[in-house]
């Protein structure tokens, strides 16, 4: 069996994007995944390249909303009682990350990664033959009152400070942009630079196909652990000069086998994908006060989001999908809710809302690229470039100190 230059663990959007970027640097690459391409969050996400979403989830604003949200077991944020004690250390780190100084640092780091990812996206799509899957429809954030809108203005000012284009809208302007909205929405903000993909699963499968056409192989394997040394890394009886860990919500388990304890938690995301034609959706809609979005995919209308901090083991609670769909029907009275397909997936999230991108402290031939939370698709092209820089010994395109695995 020929030894590849790099083994990438994870066949989601970050792992496959990284594998393709490494191929582009002339390296031979094998991808290993416990289930196969596009089997996790890369299959069921909202399909958005949310480049304007620079504000961390960990923020003073979320602390104000959290107590109310947590009282509703089907609301935007929930922690199942049986999991509360286990997640307490992560929640403490999350609370500490909500200080104004930490939020400012996280916002600056997130902005740098967003700018890199936006600039890298279209060249990456062109290089992988997927440019025809990009959609540029923007996003409309909706508010139900003057008070809710006013509370969001500091966040828009922060985006303005970073040069992100947006415009506030009256109800009449909102109706022109997106007919069929409930009159309960009194204010809106449109961000034209919010892109989307035709279908996230189809996109990741297309990346897998291109990777294989380029000579790469994808194998299904459960990773038992890593054994690094000065010349390379051994895993599952295979060996490579370098290993990239991009296994999403399972990455921390792999990192632990070489002594790195990274506080990764799992945001369990839910959605329902309705058949094409369920609604004449002309832009993505974000209902921030309720923690979910409605997205137009080529394959249907997807209603999903919210955060359930419940780990990897508990069975899905599809009542959360039902609750979001019922709200979507009230917000979009013309929405046809019949014939939908429900889904639950794991978003890998770190308490400061930033991913881990960097070399393992004890094993420089192991590179980490995981923990992107809601932004894996958005940041995939930028992360892939950074991974390729690290593996090939190039200076990374941005400062990676805020993303270091040692920051915890």
Q: In angstroms, what is the C-alpha Rg of the chain?
A: 21
pLDDT digits (tens, 9 = 90+) for 234-249: 999 999 999 999 999 9
Q: In the chain, what is the straight-line distance between the N-terminal and C-terminal CA atoms, in Å?
A: 38
pLDDT digits (tens, 9 = 90+) for 64-104: 776 777 667 777 778 888 898 999 999 999 999 999 999 99
The pLDDT of residue 40: 85
In whole angstroms, what is the distance from residue 31 CA to residue 363 CA?
A: 19
Strand partners for 244: 8, 367
Q: Residue 322, exposed/middle/buried by CB under 10 A (0-12, 13-18, 19+)?
A: middle
The pLDDT of residue 194: 95
Mean pLDDT (the chain) is: 94
**CA nearest neighbour of 325 among 307, 306, 310:** 306
Per-residue pLDDT of the chain (408 residues; tens, 9 = 90+): 689 999 999 999 999 999 999 999 999 999 999 999 998 889 999 999 999 999 988 777 776 776 777 667 777 778 888 898 999 999 999 999 999 999 999 999 999 999 999 999 999 999 999 999 999 999 999 999 999 999 999 999 999 999 999 999 999 999 999 999 999 999 999 999 999 999 999 999 999 999 999 999 999 999 989 999 999 999 999 999 999 999 999 999 999 999 999 999 999 999 999 999 999 999 999 999 899 999 999 999 999 988 888 889 889 999 999 999 999 999 999 999 999 999 999 999 999 999 999 999 999 999 999 999 999 999 999 999 999 999 999 999 999 999 999 999
The pLDDT of residue 165: 96
The pLDDT of residue 64: 74
The pLDDT of residue 1: 63
In CATH terms, the superfamily for domain 1-58+97-135+195-263+351-408 is FAD/NAD(P)-binding domain (3.50.50.60)
The pLDDT of residue 72: 74
Q: Find out whether 220 and 33 touch, Cβ atoms under 8 Å.
A: yes
**CA nearest neighbour of 137 among 205, 194, 71, 202:** 194
Contacts of 294 (CB under 8 A, 6+ apart): 279, 281, 284, 285, 287, 301, 302, 303, 328, 332
In whole angstroms, what is the distance from residue 380 CA to residue 113 CA?
A: 10
The pLDDT of residue 327: 96
């Amino acid at each position: 069996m020929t030894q590849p230059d790099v083994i990438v663990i994870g066949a989601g959007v970050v792992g496959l994007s990284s594998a393709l970027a490494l191929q582009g640097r002339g390296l031979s690459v094998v991808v290993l995944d416990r289930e196969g391409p596009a089997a996790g969050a890369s299959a069921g996400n909202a399909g958005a390249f949310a480049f304007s979403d620079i504000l961390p989830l960990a923020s003073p604003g979320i602390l104000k909303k959290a107590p109310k949200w947590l009282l509703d077991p089907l609301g935007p944020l929930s922690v199942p009682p049986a999991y509360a004690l286990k997640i307490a250390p992560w929640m403490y780190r999350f609370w500490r990350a909500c200080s104004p100084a930490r939020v400012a640092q996280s916002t600056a780091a997130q902005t740098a990664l967003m700018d890199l990812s936006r600039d890298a996206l279209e060249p990456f799509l062109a290089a992988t033959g997927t440019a025809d899957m990009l959609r540029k429809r923007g996003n409309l954030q909706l508010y139900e009152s003057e008070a809710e809108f006013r509370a969001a203005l500091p966040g828009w000012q922060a985006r303005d400070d970073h040069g992100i284009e947006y415009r506030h809208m009256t109800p009449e302007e909102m109706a022109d942009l997106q007919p069929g909205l409930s009159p309960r929405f009194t204010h809106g903000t449109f961000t034209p630079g919010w892109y989307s993909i035709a279908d996230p699963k189809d996109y990741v499968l297309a990346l897998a196909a291109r990777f294989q056409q380029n000579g790469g192989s994808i194998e299904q394997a459960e990773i038992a652990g890593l054994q690094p040394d000065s010349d390379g890394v051994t895993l599952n009886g295979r060996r490579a000069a370098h290993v990239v860990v991009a296994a999403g919500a399972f990455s921390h388990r792999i990192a632990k086998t070489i002594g790195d304890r990274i506080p990764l938690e799992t945001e369990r995301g839910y959605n329902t994908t309705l058949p094409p034609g369920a609604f004449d959706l002309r832009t993505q809609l974000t209902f921030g006060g309720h923690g979910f979005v409605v997205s137009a995919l080529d394959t249907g209308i997807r209603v999903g989001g919210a955060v359930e901090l419940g780990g990897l083991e508990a069975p899905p609670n599809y009542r959360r999908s039902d609750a979001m769909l019922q709200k979507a029907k009230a917000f979009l009275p013309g929405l046809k809710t019949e014939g939908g397909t429900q889904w639950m997936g794991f978003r890998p999230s770190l308490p400061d809302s930033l991913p881990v991108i960097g070399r393992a402290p004890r094993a420089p031939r192991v590179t980490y690229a995981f923990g992107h939370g809601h932004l894996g698709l958005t940041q995939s092209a930028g992360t892939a470039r950074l991974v390729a820089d690290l593996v090939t010994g190039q200076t990374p395109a941005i400062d990676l100190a805020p993303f270091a695995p040692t920051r915890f």
